[in-house]
Amino acid sequence: MVKILHLSDIHLGSGFSHGKINPETGINTRLEDFVNSLRICIDRAIAEPVDLVLFGGDAFPDATPPPYVHEAFASQFRRLADANIPAILLVGNHDQHSQGSGGASLSIYRTLVVPGFIVGDTIATHRLETQNGAVQVITLPWLNRSTLLTRPETEGLALAEVNEMLIQKLQPVLEAEIRRLDRDLPTVLLAHVMADRATLGAEKFLAVGKGFTIPMSMLIRAEFDYVALGHVHKHQNLNPSNDPPVIYPGSIERVDFGEEKEDKGYIFLEVESGKVEWEFCTLPARPFITIELDVSAAEDPLEQVLQAIAQQEIEQKVVRLIYKLRSQQLDLINTAALDRALQSAHSHSIRPELISQLARPRLPELGVGNTLNPLEALTTYLNNREDLKDIQTELLEAAENLLNETVVR
């Protein structure tokens, strides 16, 4: 059987606000965390050794990562080339320019002709000869509506109608690849998509107005032995009957607090025509923890917050402390004492919330009588949300796309 390691959504360079500079290396500790998780994946691939590595897309937060981040990614994947292990690097939405054209952050691997490396930026079938036999992989990169449709085609259409039109355009292209398959070889579909059964988090919101949802009928096909997905950060198998398995491995590290309770890992599988065995392998991703409490009724709110911190195991975790209190209690909170109580955490943030503010608009700019357009209102809100700082640009871009769709209609 052909051995494959399937990982996705590395997002190298994300979450720096949850880290700190390592004085010994000069590098943000969250970058070191992400590189460590990637290193473990590559270690496993080489130790087996596997016959093929499939990367499901989103190597970085955007298409133009800083050189030192790109080098950190390249240094790990170069180990595969040195071990003569082929890899297919699929282009995800974060690997493309904002206009949705090209796999900018991964195209260098094609330019340099790295032995055994394939950049999956088009719908195509790739046949690979391995030590354990041949395998064929259909690549389906992230597709924007602009990739398949012209603006006049979508003018006046609702989002659901545009989605249906996109599916109609995609289906014959994918069918053409399926018809050309060798039925005697194991087949894998490698796709960076939003599938309609997936449990989605921020990925769905950030992609609004750009991508589209793929129906499960396009993924659950007898011709496929395994469907390797990317894009969704939560690990899940969308087809528990495993005929075929349709699997998101999830991201390899926690990107933000929205992933606090998710396990992180990769998939190891063995496949032959008509048969597949797979397992989810967990990674030692850095834990995130939220400590949230209401001290508005406490006579000594500081002591109550300190007790809540003491009850949690916070050492080397990324900690978010949220406490609700009354404005009259503000002078009773010693922030320096909270910082000292949280000093064993890897990093921490402290967010007090006034009860009096919770009953009315928290931001004066959003109060009654003020006239802000939707984008201005969202910008004002996001400027006051430190926990959303990393994705503020993408949220605003998604909102603008939604508003543009409304105008078109």
CA distance linking residue 79 with residue 72, whole number of Å: 12
d(CA 112, CA 133): 27
Mean pLDDT by 10 residues, the chain (409 residues): 97 92 95 97 98 95 87 93 95 65 57 77 94 96 70 68 83 95 97 87 52 87 97 95 97 93 96 96 97 95 97 97 94 96 96 71 51 71 72 72 54
Annotated domain spans of the chain: 2-282, 288-359
Give the pLDDT score at 372: 60
**pTM to 2 decimal places:** 0.82
pLDDT at position 215 is: 92
Measured CA to CA in angstroms, residue 59 lies from 5, 10, 312, 363 at distances of 16, 5, 33, 36
Q: What is the pLDDT of residue 407?
A: 42
Quote the longest CA-to-CA distance of the chain: 74
What superfamily in CATH does domain 2-282 come from? Metallo-dependent phosphatases (3.60.21.10)
User: What pLDDT does residue 134 have?
Assistant: 97
Residue partners of 311: CB distance under 8 A and separation at least 6: none
DSSP helix/strand/coil, 195: strand
